[in-house]
Chain A
């Protein structure tokens, strides 16, 4: 196998000069120009290329299916029993697209601007514009696949307005938009599996990226049922492995979500960008007891009709129905008259935290705020509310034992999504040639804060429409080259290392469970690198996490064997990677001396308590290079040039 040729080989690791490979031309024309001039691979030649796709959520399944349709030989990996179980399935609210079906003034430009502004001007202009452009095709594709989006009585698609938007551009499917979109992508994927272009490897967890002569050549996986460690080689590796919210232990992510695939790639040289950008979702069900390990999100679409309030005075233990309107504080409506209850997620979350910190929290543990539907039910009738939110109300009642038609919901923010991730260029390729990163696993489109209904949009944009074009030039320059054999020395060495690392957890034989350490780590990260950060807190995290990690490495207890299904063993490796990531998050948060989007530094706020950005010094993405110690990672900067957007103070007043 020859060395990588062309400009890809020059991807430089020099501070300040990350090459984004953004095409020339006016913003609105970049993607068209790119597609018109990009190097193509002919149908016959496509069959000679093998591509590994790790993860089968929206981004991974849509990418694997689309690449298979194009004729590439695809290997799709998932640690689930079926691709349909990926956590994209749990997205409730909706997916944005600039269709302007509602004639309310929406356009690609407006969706682009909203997304840039929502991300607090910390995302790459060209990527975001492309996202807004392809949003149109996504809806067409999904409807053609049979995704049953909500429709009006004339049979046409319905839309609703969603957190942070003044137009109705969100397509939705009852409260299970994620499941319906994933079923669409999964069905497209299974069709390719049936036709033989995609080979599905289920219950296989990627435990290492294999890099040879500076480029990604394959992965090493562990079979979760038999423990067998095996190597897989390809011309390109695509990671679509989701976000890292579970570093907080308590989050709305599924139990198995983890950072391991991305983190192993990072340790092999892929830069990890903006790890401090994490999103706290404002509408989750508050924690009910200490044992709880998973928080449940209530779609923020509920904020369209629900009114958020707390009692005006603290420690008010009266039931909500007995608190008269004059003694309630509808704090979002008062503070942000233009957007009211629909302010973006970070703003809604911080305001909830501040009223609870003031002692005005509600519920038995005083750990929530009310989301009240009384007025909406009076105005629209119970049937209309049930039609829109029925299944969400049911979920709420099942979990809490309380009926939200009768008494207001209790909600509180929880970690939900991570905007940071592996650094990628315009073509979604990381700085490691041959490694592409899609969806939540990359850092590219949401800046410092993601708008509601934009995650599904990005995952599908990357998988259906962006990668199938942008992977072309990388493969085209490898024409005629065979992939590195999977029994090459580099694979064998990696397999041995992976097997040893797995065995190591079983040998420690300590006294405490993996979950114990994960919970302790989560508390440290939530308290110090959570919704609101300060220098002393971050420094505390940076000194306490390594100590806890040391303890973990010497005192964790993992029982059973490596040759069978062993869930504690799987988790032990994932939690170790969280320990390292958590330190990088704190380090990144400490270096970013400003407040922007989901990253709120207490030292950087206005007298009214709003985030204060510092565009002169921090209008850049920070991409970290692994050095062996997460606290000594090297920062690389990608300056964010805004050619057609004015950087404005994000105000929702």
Chain B
């Protein structure tokens, strides 16, 4: 049989957006080490319900590391200790028997707590709304093979497009900046030939919208460390370049 472990959890509990929160300690015994971190919380919740206590509220959906719904600060690290791993893909075999694990919601002013470990990340959608697209109405597209895209270009765009929008970069950043998220979204489109028509407007609009909600980047690089999809901070540099170039172009004229 698979082995089991027991851990002590210190979990942030908060009834609602305006309620005061506090850490509550839970002993969780006999968790199979093949269980994922979220399955461990499921087990805790089942036990809490059995004791007539309200379960801990945390979000998750696909549990395959792609929908970006889950996200917890685990021992102070966004998504926990395993590199390139979303919370739902973290397994209890990464922990030792009798470990004390601190579990908190994403920490960022722009992600207000809704309840317990659940936060509101709708600010990210606001950034997409102002330019995170290529303007092509349904039916207006030319044949898909009309424009060859060099393998390298397509690959770089893909590396940016791999972002799952979980917000770990914001949570990990000491300034709660969203540069990694925003630049991944900008560069996915700005690198592709199809994205060129709106390249400059896109960079400006998205960066400026981001600044309405999030802090400023001071090059700590914590975001890249925390990113479950290993998005590179190079994209931030490229986006800064596009942003500055765009500002200059507009100053000089087209």
Interface residues, chain A, CB within 8 Å of chain B? 62, 65-66, 69, 80-87, 89-90, 99, 101, 137, 139-146, 148-157, 173-174, 176, 178-180, 183, 186-188, 190-191, 193-194, 200, 202, 225, 254-256, 288-289, 291-294, 296-297, 364, 394-395, 398-401, 464-465, 468, 513, 515-516, 557, 559-560, 564-568
Residue in contact with A513 in the complex, picked from B32, B39, B46, CB distance below 8 Å: B46
Residue in contact with B52 in the complex, picked from A148, A202, A293, A559, CB distance below 8 Å: A559
Residue in contact with B67 in the complex, picked from A85, A149, A174, A291, CB distance below 8 Å: A85
Say whether B35 faces chain A, with CB atoms less than 8 Å apart: yes
- Interface positions, chain B 78-118, Cβ under 8 Å from A, are 82, 84-85, 89, 91, 93, 114-115, 118
Q: B81 CB to closest chain A CB, in angstroms?
A: 13
Given known A-B contacts A289-B32, A292-B35, A190 and B91 have beta carbons under 8 A apart: no
- 11 additional contacts (CB under 8 A) given A144-B142, A296-B64, A564-B16: A101-B145, A141-B138, A142-B144, A143-B194, A145-B134, A188-B133, A202-B125, A254-B61, A516-B46, A559-B49, A559-B52
- Interface positions, chain B 58-90, Cβ under 8 Å from A, are 59-69, 82, 84-85, 89
Q: Which residues of B contact A557 (CB under 8 A)?
A: 49, 52
Q: Which residues of B contact A255 (CB under 8 A)?
A: 60-63
Bound state CA distance, A355 and B188, in angstroms?
45
Bound state CA distance, A153 and B151, in angstroms?
5
Q: Which residues of B contact A256 (CB under 8 A)?
A: 61
Say whether B178 faces chain A, with CB atoms less than 8 Å apart: no
Best-surrounded residue of B2, B34, B121 (most CB of chain A within 10 A):
B34
Bound state CA distance, A399 and B60, in angstroms?
16
Q: A153 CB to closest chain B CB, in angstroms?
A: 5
Q: Which residues of B contact A151 (CB under 8 A)?
A: 148-149, 151, 154
Bound state CA distance, A183 and B154, in angstroms?
16
Q: Contact at A565–B133, with CB atoms within 8 Å? A: no
Q: Which residues of A contact B157 (CB under 8 A)?
A: 146, 148
Given known A-B contacts A81-B121, A85-B61, A141 and B141 have beta carbons under 8 A apart: yes
B side interface size, CB within 8 A: 77
Q: At the interface with chain A, which of B161-169, B215-223, B245-253?
A: B161-169
Q: B213 CB to closest chain A CB, in angstroms?
A: 14
Bound state CA distance, A337 and B133, in angstroms?
46
Q: A494 CB to closest chain B CB, in angstroms?
A: 27
Q: Which residues of B contact A143 (CB under 8 A)?
A: 141, 144, 194
Residue in contact with B154 in the complex, picked from A90, A148, A398, A464, CB distance below 8 Å: A148
Q: Which residues of B contact A468 (CB under 8 A)?
A: 138
Q: Contact at B62–A87, with CB atoms within 8 Å? A: yes
Q: Which residues of B contact A559 (CB under 8 A)?
A: 49, 52-55
Q: Which residues of A contact B36 (CB under 8 A)?
A: 399
Q: Which residues of B contact A464 (CB under 8 A)?
A: 138-139
Residue in contact with A90 in the complex, picked from B67, B120, B124, B140, CB distance below 8 Å: B67
Q: Contact at B144–A157, with CB atoms within 8 Å? A: yes
Q: Which residues of B contact A200 (CB under 8 A)?
A: 125
Bound state CA distance, A491 and B151, in angstroms?
54
Q: Which residues of B contact A180 (CB under 8 A)?
A: 158, 161
Q: B87 CB to closest chain A CB, in angstroms?
A: 12
Q: A312 CB to closest chain B CB, in angstroms?
A: 27
Q: Contact at B69–A80, with CB atoms within 8 Å? A: yes
Q: Which residues of A contact B151 (CB under 8 A)?
A: 151-153, 155
Q: B164 CB to closest chain A CB, in angstroms?
A: 7
Q: List 5 A-B contacts (CB under 8 A).
A: A85-B61, A144-B141, A179-B162, A288-B2, A398-B89
Q: Which residues of A contact B49 (CB under 8 A)?
A: 513, 557, 559, 568
Q: Which residues of B contact A65 (CB under 8 A)?
A: 138
Q: Contact at B138–A69, with CB atoms within 8 Å? A: yes
Q: Which residues of A contact B192 (CB under 8 A)?
A: 146, 148
5 nearest A-B residue pairs (beta carbon): A155-B148, A144-B141, A187-B133, A140-B141, A143-B144
Say whether B5 faces chain A, with CB atoms less than 8 Å apart: no
Closest A residue to B120 using CB positions: A81
Given known A-B contacts A291-B43, A296-B64, A84 and B158 have beta carbons under 8 A apart: no
Residue in contact with A291 in the complex, picked from B42, B57, B189, CB distance below 8 Å: B42
Residue in contact with A190 in the complex, picked from B132, B149, B188, CB distance below 8 Å: B132
Residue in contact with B62 in the complex, picked from A148, A254, A394, CB distance below 8 Å: A254
Closest B residue to A297 using CB positions: B64
Given known A-B contacts A85-B69, A254-B61, A289 and B129 have beta carbons under 8 A apart: no
Q: Contact at A190–B129, with CB atoms within 8 Å? A: yes
Closest A residue to B34 using CB positions: A288
Bound state CA distance, A66 and B151, in angstroms?
30
Q: Which residues of B contact A176 (CB under 8 A)?
A: 66, 162
Given known A-B contacts A146-B189, A152-B151, A293 and B39 have beta carbons under 8 A apart: yes
Bound state CA distance, A148 and B160, in angstroms?
10
Residue in contact with A145 in the complex, picked from B39, B69, B114, B136, CB distance below 8 Å: B136
Q: Which residues of A contact B162 (CB under 8 A)?
A: 174, 176, 179
Best-surrounded residue of B16, B67, B195 (most CB of chain A within 10 A):
B67
Q: Contact at B42–A293, with CB atoms within 8 Å? A: yes
Q: Which residues of B contact A82 (CB under 8 A)?
A: 121-122, 124-125, 165
Q: Contact at A69–B137, with CB atoms within 8 Å? A: yes
Closest B residue to A557 using CB positions: B49
Q: Contact at A146–B188, with CB atoms within 8 Å? A: yes
Q: Contact at B61–A87, with CB atoms within 8 Å? A: yes
Q: Contact at B114–A565, with CB atoms within 8 Å? A: yes
Residue in contact with A565 in the complex, picked from B65, B115, B134, B141, CB distance below 8 Å: B115
Residue in contact with B57 in the complex, picked from A62, A145, A194, A565, CB distance below 8 Å: A565
Closest B residue to A145 using CB positions: B134
Q: Which residues of A contact B158 (CB under 8 A)?
A: 148, 173-174, 180
Bound state CA distance, A93 and B54, in angstroms?
39
Closest A residue to B1 using CB positions: A364
Bound state CA distance, A297 and B135, in angstroms?
34
Closest B residue to A513 using CB positions: B49
Best-surrounded residue of A151, A256, A464 (most CB of chain B within 10 A):
A151
Given known A-B contacts A155-B154, A191-B133, A567 and B57 have beta carbons under 8 A apart: yes
Q: Which residues of A contact B60 (CB under 8 A)?
A: 255
Say whether B20 faces chain A, with CB atoms less than 8 Å apart: no
